[in-house]
């Protein structure tokens, strides 16, 4: 029987990472008597408490001045944590993991004429059909992310989607996209692939922090727009290679240390030139609604696969820019309510709030045009538009925007 231990992986403002094992109840804060002391601006003296409950772990805010966020949502009461949940305390990001003891789950993989050994080091996150593990590559003395199908999830369609994601991502060689290293099958037959392990903050958490009443200067508008500019450049590269993402949203954007920005989760990606084969079990069919409702273009919401192209990604990028400016996506509510709003030709209201500017709001609404022909043709056009804003804006403009 494999043995697990619960831990928190902390990413500090400097980019340094630390691992904290969870045992009994512990308090995190700036106070000298805190079980885990984090002496950073934005962290309260006694910020949050983690405690064992019902065989798992929960977190509760202890009345901190700027709140505790779990997956971008501010805590109002105690919350049970799931593997991969992200807890944000001011500038510090904590990821809850259950780590497999290092002397367990060692398995070999074929590597050309030789072999390699991967050691499972815990679960990074789980989706509906797939899970992402942290693994140790013994041959090269490094850690990687390994994505594979979840136990019990096995069909020609989901296998084909996972393998297609690996092959499409492997063909995108860009600093903003995690490279694929290997592809294969686990001992139990499930397909998998390994990538560089991406560390950093999810952009939805960053946006939430920037819109907190006590937001600090670390995440002012200019820095948010620089991140967005990096994202647009990465997507523009994919568009130039004939690939669309189809699920762009703040939670699929990672802000790493030293200015790195990554676009992740290419599981719905599609090659515009070759993915129209109806015999492909992973190919989308008319009527398939794929993506995330709040950032989904109208043609995606209709399940119109043929009309879904680069401009559909542009729509999603417009939604990301809108969220930067307003603190929320263009539409909110239940999934059905959001889809109804997306399908309505009436455009969303102009973003409002202390970070909204006329120039950037105009770009967001242009990208969010209901009819694809009224949007920028691809992400490269957005790169140029954001370039113009960054070049033309006077330093005073950025300083006058609330930090």
In angstroms, what CA-CA distances link 127 with 41, 83, 153, 265, 352? 34, 11, 11, 11, 33
- How many angstroms separate the CA atoms of 65 and 178, rounded? 36
Annotated catalytic residue 371 = no
Nearest C-alpha neighbor of 191 from the set 232, 226, 146: 146
Look-up: residue for tokens 């804006």?
A: 393
Q: Given its phi and psi angles, is residue 151 left (phi above 0), alpha (psi -120 to 50 degrees) or beta?
A: beta
Give 111's contacts (C-beta < 8 A, 6+ positions apart): 139, 182
- How many angstroms separate the CA atoms of 312 and 298, rounded? 8
| Burial (0-12, 13-18, 19+ Cβ within 10 Å), 128 | exposed
- How many angstroms separate the CA atoms of 197 and 148, rounded? 14
Contact 227, 203 (CB under 8 A): yes
**Of residues 61, 204, 247, 378, which has the active-site annotation?**
247
Task: Provide the strand spans (E) within 62-111.
Answer: 68-70, 73-74, 79-80, 86-89, 92-100, 106-111
- How many angstroms separate the CA atoms of 97 and 101, rounded? 12
Give 80's contacts (C-beta < 8 A, 6+ positions apart): 53, 54, 56, 57, 58
- Would you give the distance in Å from CA 358 to the centre of its chain? 27
- How many angstroms separate the CA atoms of 242 and 296, rounded? 19
Nearest C-alpha neighbor of 109 from the set 184, 167, 197: 184
- How many angstroms separate the CA atoms of 329 and 204, rounded? 10
Q: What is the dihedral of CA 399, 400, 401, 403, to 10 degrees?
A: 60
Query: Could you list the active site residues?
Result: 247
């Amino acid at each position: 029987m494999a043995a697990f231990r619960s831990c928190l992986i902390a990413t500090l403002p400097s980019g340094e990472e630390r691992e904290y094992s969870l045992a009994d109840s512990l308090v995190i804060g700036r106070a000298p008597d805190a079980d885990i002391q984090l002496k950073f601006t934005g962290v309260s003296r006694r910020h949050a408490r983690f405690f064992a409950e019902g065989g798992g772990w929960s977190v509760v805010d202890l009345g901190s001045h700027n709140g505790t966020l779990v997956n971008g949502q501010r805590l109002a009461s105690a919350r049970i944590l799931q593997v991969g949940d992200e807890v944000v305390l001011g500038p510090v990001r904590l990821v809850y993991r259950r780590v497999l003891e290092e002397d367990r789950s060692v398995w070999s993989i074929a590597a050309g004429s030789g072999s390699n050994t991967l050691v499972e080091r815990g679960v990074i996150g789980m989706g509906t059909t797939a899970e992402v593990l942290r693994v140790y590559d013994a041959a090269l003395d490094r850690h990687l992310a390994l994505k594979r199908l979840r136990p019990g999830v096995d069909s020609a369609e989901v296998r084909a989607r996972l393998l297609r994601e690996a092959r499409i991502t492997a063909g995108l060689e860009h600093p903003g996209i995690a490279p694929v290293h290997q592809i294969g099958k686990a001992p139990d037959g499930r397909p998998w692939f390994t990538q560089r392990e991406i560390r950093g903050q999810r952009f939805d958490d960053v946006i939430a922090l920037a819109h907190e009443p006590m937001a600090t200067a670390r995440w002012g508008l200019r820095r948010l727009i620089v991140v967005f500019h990096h994202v647009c450049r990465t997507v523009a590269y994919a568009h130039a290679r004939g690939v669309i993402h189809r699920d762009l949203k703040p939670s699929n954007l990672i802000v790493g240390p030293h200015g790195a920005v990554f676009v992740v989760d290419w599981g719905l990606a599609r090659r515009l030139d070759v993915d129209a084969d109806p015999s492909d079990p992973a190919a989308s069919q008319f009527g398939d609604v794929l993506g995330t409702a709040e950032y989904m273009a109208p043609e995606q919401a209709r399940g119109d696969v043929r009309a879904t192209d680069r401009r559909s990604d542009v729509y999603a990028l417009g939604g990301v820019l809108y969220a930067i400016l307003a603190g929320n996506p263009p539409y909110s509510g239940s999934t059905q309510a959001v889809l109804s709003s997306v399908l309505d030709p009436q455009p969303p209201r102009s973003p409002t709030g202390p970070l909204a500017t006329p120039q950037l709001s105009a770009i967001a609404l242009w990208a969010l045009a209901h009819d694809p022909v009224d949007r920028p043709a691809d992400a490269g056009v957005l790169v140029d538009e954001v370039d113009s804003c960054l070049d033309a804006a006077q330093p005073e403009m950025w300083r006058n925007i609330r930090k």
